[in-house]
Structure 1
Amino acid sequence: MKRQGRLLALVLAIILAGGSVAANAATIKAGATCSKAGLTKIYSGKKYTCIKSGRKYIWNKGVAVIAAPKPSPTPTPSPIATAPAQPITFDNLDTKWVRKIAYDQIAAGVANSTNYVPNITYVIGPSLTASRVDQEKQALNRTSSFWSDIFKPSQVFIGYFTEKDVDWVDSAMCSQARYCPSGGSVVISKVIKDDTPWCNSAMATNNNDGIPFFDQCLGNGSDAIKNRQTGPHEYTHWVQQANANWSWVPNWWTEGSADYFGNTLGIYNGATMPAQLDEMSYNSSYNWVRQDLCPMPEPTVELITKCFRYTYNGGGAPPGNGNKYMLAHVSYYMGGLATEAMIAVKGLATFKAFTKDLKTITFDTAFEKHYGLTADEFYPKVAKYVLAMYQQKR
């Protein structure tokens, strides 16, 4: 029994000693002994290092351990759509895509066009600087190349001036450009006076010899972003005059397509659609909702459809008696958006082929031939697009 008692006591001593060692191993205090210099342990938020102090090895005071921040999960970027979910059709004129798809067609048309500039006789007012005229020529040269596959005039006349040239302009245009107005023809000096204090109007026609002529005032207000479209706009009218029988075409196409090509070719700066295009397009809506010929104080699909039909068989200028606005004000905005939709759905080549056909067949016949529905069926469909873009201020 004594022997068993001693054995039991020895076992208990070993267990207690082991527990003491385990406790000492688990608990670290500054100044407590340790076994080897350089040994490190982390305990209770501190990192302790074993150092030599005299003849002993002890734990130092320790330094706080700052936990490394857990990395935030990197969000997976949403894929950027490169094409509409559904094909663009006249029944699906998605406002997120129509403008981009149509502009891509214009950009490709510019990039692939053959460089062509007709023989231009410029008649330039004495108040203008060469640098101001050169600004206009850049867009004009781009436009003449763009349309050269269906319109390639051998000679044209262009008159540039400001309001300061009002006493010079009529005689100069007559003697140097052979534009000598008579009857109901527009007298340029009168337009300048009527538009005071602004001078940013333009007009495309033929001179007395039947040669293309357009005049443009580069005066007060002409440097606004919208007026970047003026030169290409008027050149597009020449294209229309050369290819279409104007007695057959609605004014929404005449003025609207000129507005659209004026905007896109005037602001063009490469393959990327310019941010200013929305502003330029929406600018034309200002008089669209104020005009008094086809009243539309609050646009609806029904009223817009009615106004598309209204633009047939009407003159463009000047306004009729008692009217403040001319038919072009009905046409610019909604016609520009209709042109944009036509190009987005069927492409630029189809639009040009359609334009060429207008010389020999009626507008409605040509429209059905190239677009697969009648113009009358087209209007309520595109009116939805016009209304949506107007509500988005684009």
Structure 2
Amino acid sequence: MIAKRVVGSVIAACLVFSLASTNSAAASKIVAGKSCKTHKQKAIFQGLIFTCIKSGKKFVWNKGVPTAVPTVEPVVAPSPTASPANVEAPAPTQIPVALWQETQFRILAQFKALKPTSIQELDFVLSPNADKVLAKKLQESYQEPITYLSNLYVNPAKVTFLVMNEKDEDWWLERFKELTPSQKPDWWGSHCGPSSRSHCGYGSSPNPDGTFHFGQLLGSEIVWRDRDYAIAYHESIHVYQLGLMGNRMDKLPVWFAEGQACYLGYTFSHRYIDSRQQRQSEIGRLKDFPNVEKFNDKEWFEWLQKIDSDREYTFNNQLGYSAGELILESLYNVNDYKKVHEWMVSIKNGSDYKTAFKSTFGQDYDSWMRDTVAPYLNSQI
């Protein structure tokens, strides 16, 4: 999280999705855009999995996604269920990969093929009580995605990281005042509950000169697990965002910062935790809202307008994570990641986000929300 917000990413149980859940009957009749009967029904045709989605008041087949798992960052299929004696076990099937995950794999492959001319400097400052082994894991976790993202932007200023445990409030407070003298140090005990098992962090708001720092609390009894990598990878995206945007950070759409940190964070942390598993936790959180599973496209658009315009509502309900992640999916699915970066740069340089969207993507922002994002969220929930 950024700007004094606490990391609270919950990793859900693994989402298992097999070809057995699809319907291959009448597959020869499936054409994208033609009518179908049952919402979210799936069918296989010519190597693609088609999903029945809402379009206005009708149900139609979407464009379909490949059934094969891409070779980049492969997803491991579950072990086949044990079969009774003398009964031949069915051959394990490949797990279908949704378009959003294929896009993530492609983005990661593109980053891996690049070599940045310079790499963002991260200055880790450890408290007297900080665990040096955990701090090293933390630094390595941040550095991997930051190295890739250095192909997009390198902040000329060094980024300072304060690493401490639950006993270091006084040390943290002194460092905070040194690094961000004009900001209120209200994170400790408010946005982060310090305990021996806490792993939480924040990114400060940018100073007038564009500098900022991060804080990371690693409790004295933490045993580093895969979810800790996921937290660090999420936060590393905020390092890129804050370095690029500086004091224009709050000019991004209110859902953008956490949505991008989730989407790209899952991309990088996939080798520790399947990105579908991480994404499903956000979809589960979104489904907690009353009636969203019954929304039609129009209702989704109206709700998205509220998310887009009401900062307090979006923040208090953590919709930057759940809705924001899906909004970013719909954008990355059809646009190169460099285009999204270009949109951010345009906002940084003084444009409001709707004007910048039009100049970057050649499409009216509100029309995009109505015609692309609302139907996409409707098809995913």
Q: Which runs of 5+ in 1 are unaligned?
A: 1-77
Matching residue of 1:373: 363
- Among 138, 141, 151, which residue is 1:139 paired with? 141
Q: 1:170 aligns with which of 165, 169, 173?
A: 173
* Alignment correspondent of 2:260: 257
**Map of 2:154 onto structure 1:** 152
**Contact between 2:192 and 2:201, CA under 8 Å: does it hold in 1?**
no
Mapped partners of 2:241, 2:117: distance in 1: 20
* Comparing 105-114 and 218-227, the one that deviates more: 218-227
Q: How does 1:219-258 map to 2 (within 5 A)?
A: 219=219, 223=224, 225-244=226-245, 245-258=248-261
SS at match of 1:201: strand
Q: Distance in 1 between matches of 2:199 and 2:176?
A: 17
Partners of 1:151 and 1:346 in 2: how far apart? 19
C-alpha offsets along residues 44-68 of structure 1, whole Å, 9 cap, x if unaligned? Answer: xxxxxxxxxxxxxxxxxxxxxxxxx
SS for the counterpart of 2:122 is strand
Q: State the secondary structure of the residue aligned to 2:255.
A: helix
The residue that corresponds to 2:73 in the other structure is: none
Contact 1:200 1:217 in 2 (8 A): yes
Instruction: Quote the residue 2:8 is aligned against.
Output: none
Residue aligned with 1:305, SS: helix
- Cα RMSD between the aligned structures? 3.7
CA-to-aligned-CA distance 1:93-130 (integer Å, 9 cap, x gap): 85732321232123312331416433332122344332
* Distance in 2 between residues matched to 1:278 and 1:172, nearest whole Å: 38
Counterpart-to-counterpart distance in 2, 1:276 and 1:226: 11
- 2:280 corresponds in structure 1 to 282
> Secondary structure of the residue that 1:358 maps to in structure 2?
helix
Corresponding residue for residue 374 of structure 2: 383
Q: Is the 8 A contact 1:228 1:266 kept in 2?
A: yes
1:1-394 paired onto structure 2 within 5 Å = 81=47, 92=63, 94=65, 96-114=98-116, 116-154=118-156, 155-175=158-178, 178-180=179-181, 182-183=183-184, 185-193=185-193, 199-205=198-204, 206=206, 210-219=210-219, 223=224, 225-244=226-245, 245-267=248-270, 269=271, 276-290=274-288, 298=293, 300=295, 301-315=297-311, 326-327=315-316, 329-359=318-348, 360-380=350-370, 381-390=372-381
Residues paired across the two proteins, number: 290
Letter in 1 for 2:368: F
* Stretches of structure 2 lacking an aligned partner (at least 5 in a row): 1-43, 56-61, 66-96
* 1:335–1:326 Cα change, 3 Å: closer
Distance 1:153 1:262 in 2: 19
Structure showing greater relative contact order (alpha-carbon pairs closer than 8 Å, 6 or more residues apart): 2
Q: Which has the larger radius of gyration?
A: 1
Instruction: Rate the CA distance shift 1:153–1:182 in 2: closer, same or farther, 3 A.
Output: closer
CA distance in structure 2 between the partners assigned to 1:128 and 1:111 by the alignment: 35
> What SS does the corresponding residue of 2:110 show, helix, strand or coil?
helix
Q: Is the 8 A contact 1:115 1:145 kept in 2?
A: no
CA distance in 1, matches of 2:293, 2:155: 43
Given the two structures, how large is their TM-score scaled by the length of structure 2?
0.63
> Do 1:284 and 1:333's aligned partners in 2 also have CA atoms closer than 8 Å?
yes
Alpha-carbon distance between aligned partners in 2 of 1:173 and 1:243, rounded to the nearest angstrom: 21
**TM-score, normalization: structure 1?**
0.61
Specify the code of the residue in structure 2 equivalent to 1:376: D
In structure 2, what is the Cα distance between the partners aligned to 1:144 and 1:378? 30
Change in CA separation of 1:113 and 1:337 when aligned onto 2, cut-off 3 Å: farther
Question: Counterparts of 2:64 and 2:169 in 1: how far apart (Å)?
Answer: 46
**CA apart distance, 1:278:** 0.7
Deviations 1:147-193 (A, max 9, x none): 22442123111112233434542224445xx244644x533344333
Q: Offset of 1:209 from its aligned partner? A: 6.5
- Could you say what secondary structure the match of 2:333 adopts? helix
